[in-house]
């Protein structure tokens, strides 16, 4: 049995994705800063017979991320699927003219160094398995920069470049890399951008291995 590792575990998309991949037979590793959130999610998933466990890490702390993912693989089984979808902090979203060089340190560490750290932690195990999926979830500013959200626009664009290169570099190793762009808010009542709909989309991306970049909704005009 293999593991679905979720970096950025929370009660919305995180829980829905954990539920969907768990229902498909994967054990679930919930990686986040909040032990309380982890415990709540583990209890909820247990009621649906999904085997889940929490692992504490901060996306801004590469050592804690690496340790959490290694522990998850040792405890639950090899990680076949990684979903990187932590929610950026609000202070990453300053206007471009109010953004100094130091204001980009945390956004870049969060989106780029965090992504690279996670991939480096799980890639050896995927290669040993002979298969794997790396899923990255971003907002619209990853492909359409927003002048009022400079930090995430710059960091998401850099993450997108990294993920695109990964897609090409790993294609021959049976490791699929994909990015899902969610242009608007994730809402329970949204047809295509509810947590449940997005979780189904992510599972389809994993199982069908289609295009590198997909969109939950069309980008606004």
Would 38 be classed as within a structural domain? yes
Q: What is the residue range of 130's domain?
A: 3-215
Model pLDDT, residue 6:
98
Model pLDDT, residue 130:
98
Would 205 be classed as within a structural domain? yes
Model pLDDT, residue 32:
95
Would 112 be classed as within a structural domain? yes
Model pLDDT, residue 117:
98
Which CATH number is 70's domain given?
3.40.50.720
Burial (CB count <10 Å: 0-12, 13-18, 19+), residue 102? exposed
Would 70 be classed as within a structural domain? yes
Q: Which residue has the tokens 């939950």?
A: 216
**Model confidence at 86: pLDDT above 80:** yes
Q: Residue 34 carries which DSSP code?
A: -
Confidence tier at 52 by pLDDT (50, 70, 90): very high
Confidence tier at 79 by pLDDT (50, 70, 90): very high
Would 221 be classed as within a structural domain? no
The token pair at 29 is 């590793």
pLDDT, one tens digit per residue, over 155-188 is 999 999 999 999 999 999 999 999 999 998 899 9
Model pLDDT, residue 123:
98
- What is the gyration radius of the CA atoms in the chain, in angstroms? 16
Q: What is the mean pLDDT of residues 196-219?
A: 96
Would 141 be classed as within a structural domain? yes
Average pLDDT, whole number, for the chain?
Answer: 96
pLDDT, one tens digit per residue, over 118-154 is 999 999 999 999 999 999 999 999 999 999 999 999 9
For residue 221, what are the CA distances in angstroms to 140, 141, 149, 183? 12, 14, 18, 11
pLDDT, one tens digit per residue, over 15-29 is 999 999 999 999 999
Model pLDDT, residue 36:
83
Would 37 be classed as within a structural domain? yes
Q: What are phi and psi of 95, to 5 degrees?
A: -65, 150
Provide the number of structural domains found in the chain: 1
For residue 115, what are the CA distances in angstroms to 42, 63, 134, 202? 24, 13, 10, 17
Model pLDDT, residue 197:
97
Would 220 be classed as within a structural domain? no
């Amino acid at each position: 049995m293999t593991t679905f590792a979720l970096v950025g575990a929370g009660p919305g998309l995180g829980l829905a994705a954990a539920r969907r991949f768990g229902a498909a037979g994967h054990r679930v590793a919930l990686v986040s800063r909040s032990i309380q959130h982890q415990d709540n999610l583990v209890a909820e998933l247990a009621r649906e017979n999904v085997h889940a466990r929490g692992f504490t890490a901060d996306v801004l702390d590469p050592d804690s991320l690496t340790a959490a993912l290694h522990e998850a693989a040792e405890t639950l089984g090899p990680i076949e699927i990684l979903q990187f979808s932590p929610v950026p902090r609000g202070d990453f979203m300053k206007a471009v003219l109010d953004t100094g060089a130091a204001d980009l340190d945390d956004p870049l560490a969060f989106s780029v160094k965090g992504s690279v750290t996670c991939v480096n932690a799980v890639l050896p195990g995927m290669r040993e398995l002979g298969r794997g999926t790396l899923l990255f979830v971003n907002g619209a500013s990853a492909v359409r920069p927003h002048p009022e959200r400079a930090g995430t626009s710059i960091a998401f664009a850099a993450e997108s470049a990294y993920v695109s290169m990964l897609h090409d570099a790993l294609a021959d190793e049976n490791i699929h890399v994909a990015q899902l762009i969610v242009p608007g808010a994730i809402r329970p009542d949204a047809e295509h951008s509810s947590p449940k709909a997005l979780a189904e989309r992510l599972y389809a991306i994993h199982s069908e291995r289609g295009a590198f970049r997909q969109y939950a909704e069309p980008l606004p005009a």
